[in-house]
Every structure is written in structure tokens, then in C-alpha cells.
Structure 1
Amino acid sequence: MTGIWITVGIAVVLVIAIIAIYNAIINRANAVERAWANVITQERQKNKIIPHLEDVVKDYKEFEQGTLTKVTELRSALQGLDSGKVDTAKLEQAEAKTGELLKSLNVTVENYPELKASETYQKLMREITDQQENIGAAIRIFNQNVEDFNNGIEVFPNSLVNAMLNRKEKIKTFSDSQAEEGFEYKPNI
């Protein structure tokens, strides 16, 4: 009789452990989705600033067409981001477009010193800089949540529960390939 109770006790503990692991995997997946949505929210905030910047700069007679093209490309890349689907490749593309636009704006400002003196321009550039910092922070949080999620589905016994019940796939962290090119060190993972 005691053997039956021990067996039942072990089975109950095992079921509770499986449920706890299953729920932990779901919680981590939801944290990744929330962090991704925060990244997209920050990108969209930047997208709201761009048209105002474009209006300020358009007032200058010989404004470079290339910069206007970069604004359009950035807007297009930002609109391609979807808060419902994690797509780090599209985010990387949007961040690359942002970098190209900022470089182009710096060249334009050098050609038009009166633009640099404009309070509106300076305010908008500060807003974009602040927004880029917010995006960087959101990406760091996203990558941390991705790491926690990936660890949660790869470690034993979680990997068994995931294989049997959740079937969640490993998520790719965001990485900036342009920034990575500047580093000689590459970890051998």
C-alpha cells in the first residue's frame, strides 16, 4: 500500500513539474513577444519624428534628393516592422536605414550651416538621438528576453517538455552586422 502512495506521489510531483516547466516556457515566450512589441513601439515613435524633420529640411532650396530618398526608405522599412512577428532581419534593415539617413543629414547640415542653427532642426535631431537610445535599450531588453527564452527551451528537462508539448523554436537575437564588422574579436561559440 505504501508503494502505491509513493508511486502516486512521484507521479503528482512529476505532473506538477511538467506543468511548471510548460508554463515557464510560455511565460518566457510572452516576455519575448512583449519585448519585441516594445522595440517596434520605439521604432514607430522615431517614425513620427521623421516627417517633421523632413519638413524642416525641405525648406532649404537645394536640399539633396538623396537624403529625401533615405527618409522614404527609412519610413518604408519602419512600416515593414510587425509587432506580432519577431523579424530581426527587418529590424536590422530599419536600423541600417536610420544610420544612412543620419549620415546623410550630417552631410546636409555641413552644406547648410543655417539649417544647423535652426532650433527646430536641433530639437528634432535631439528627439531622434533620444529615440535611438530608447531603441537601443529596448533591443537590449529584447535580446535578454530571447536569451532567457532560448535557455528555457534548451536546458534539461525543459527541452524534453518543450519537445513533447510546447514545440517552441529557438529565437534569433537582434545583432547589428554593421557594428559587428568593426570588431576583430569573434567568440567561438
Structure 2
Amino acid sequence: MTGGTIALLVVGVIVLIVLLWAVAQYNGFVRLRNLVQEAWRQIDVELHRRHDLIPNLVESVKGYAAHERAVFDEVTRARAAAAGPAAGPAQQAAQENQLTAALGRLFAVAEAYPALRASENFQQLQAELTNTEDRIAAGRRFYNANVRALNTKVETFPPNVIANMFGFTRAEYFEADDPQVRQAPDVRF
């Protein structure tokens, strides 16, 4: 082997290594992007479950506190906004924050009616809502962990070179902005 052949072979090996690294980085970005999307879909499923429980809860409370029309209307409007299409996780979080606040007011109304609190249907709905809130919180943690991994990879060097070349961007976190809704609502009576 001559010196030129060895140099060409070394350059070829270096190019192959860089190419394999680039492919591995690209595939890593695709994997992380898909994990973020899957995690969001899981949150979406739980949010729909929450939205489906709310009309039953409102009807249950209406039977005991029919004169609390403003609270029922507020919950209904907040549910409609939260169940509608959102531009992204930040907007969805804002809509969910409004719904959580409205539900808090609904449960405050329910506290004034001991017969309602004792109702088996109401207790079952409370338990379902609490379970759903816990599942949303777990889904949010999983989603945000995947977003963190993707965002870290998008921002660090040298993977950010591949991210910029192929249009991989940061993902949005799903987080509550209102300090009052950073905790799941207390629905125990």
C-alpha cells in the first residue's frame, strides 16, 4: 500500500464513521419525536376521559343545587373550551387550568349539600375524576420527560447540527401556569 492509498482509506473510514454517526443521530431524533407524540396522545386520552366525566358530574350536582346556574354554565363553557382543538400543549394547559378552576367552584357548591356528598353516584364520579386527574399528572410527567430529552438533544452540540439540517425543533412542555392548579383538585368530602 502506498501513502496515498492509506490516506484515502483513512479518509474513507472517517467519512463512514461520520455518516454512521449522522444516521444514528437522525434516528435518535425520530425516536424522541415519536415518544413525545405518543406521550401527548396518552395525555389527550386522559383529558378526553376527564371531559366525558364532567357532564355527569354537573348533572349530579344540578339535581341538588339547581339555583347555582352560573357555576354550571362556567363549568360547561370551560369544558367546551378544553375539549375543543388546541394549538399546542401550552394552549391546552391554559384551557385545562380554566376547567380545573371551574371544577373547584363546582365542588365548593357541592360541599353545601350533605345529601349530595352522600350520594353514591356523586361519590363514584368523584373517585373517577380523582383517578383521571392522577393519570393526567402521570402522563404529564412522562410527556415532559420526553420533551426534556428531545429538547436537550436539539440544543446540544454536535447533535444540534443534525437537528438543524433536518428541521428537528424543540417541543413544548405541558405545564400548569396558575399556582392554584399545579395540584390536583381536592375532591374528597
**TM-score between the two structures when normalised by the length of structure 1:** 0.86
> Structure 1: 5+ residue runs without aligned partners?
183-189
Residue 6 of structure 1: how far off its partner (Å): 1.1
Matches within 5 A, 1:155-166: 155-164=156-165, 166=166
Q: Is the 8 A contact 2:97 2:181 kept in 1?
A: no
Q: Name the count of aligned residue pairs.
A: 178
Gaps of 5+ in 2: 183-189
**Residue aligning to 1:153:** 154
Query: Percent identity of the aligned residues?
Result: 26
The 1:25–1:126 alpha-carbon spacing in structure 2 relative to 1, beyond 3 Å, is: same
Q: Which has the larger radius of gyration?
A: 2
Q: Does residue 19 of structure 2 align to residue 15 of structure 1?
A: yes
Does structure 1 residue 34 correspond to structure 2 residue 38?
yes
After TM superposition, give the deviation of residue 43 of structure 1 in Å: 0.2
Residues 49 and 76 (structure 1), Cα distance of their counterparts in 2 relative to 1, 3 Å cut: same
Distance 1:61 1:99, change over 3 A: closer
TM-score for the superposition, normalised by structure 2: 0.86
Deviations 1:29-82 (A, max 9, x none): 111111111111110011121121122122225341122112212321232245
Q: Which amino acid aligns with 1:162?
A: A
Letter in 1 for 2:128: E
Determine the C-alpha separation between the residues in 1 that align with 2:78 and 2:47: 10
Residues 126-162 of structure 1, C-alpha deviation per residue, up to 9 Å, x if partnerless? Answer: 1111111110110111100000000111111111111
Runs of 4+ in 1 over 4 A off after TM superposition: none
Matched, 1:48 2:52: yes
**Which residue does the alignment assign to 1:92?**
93
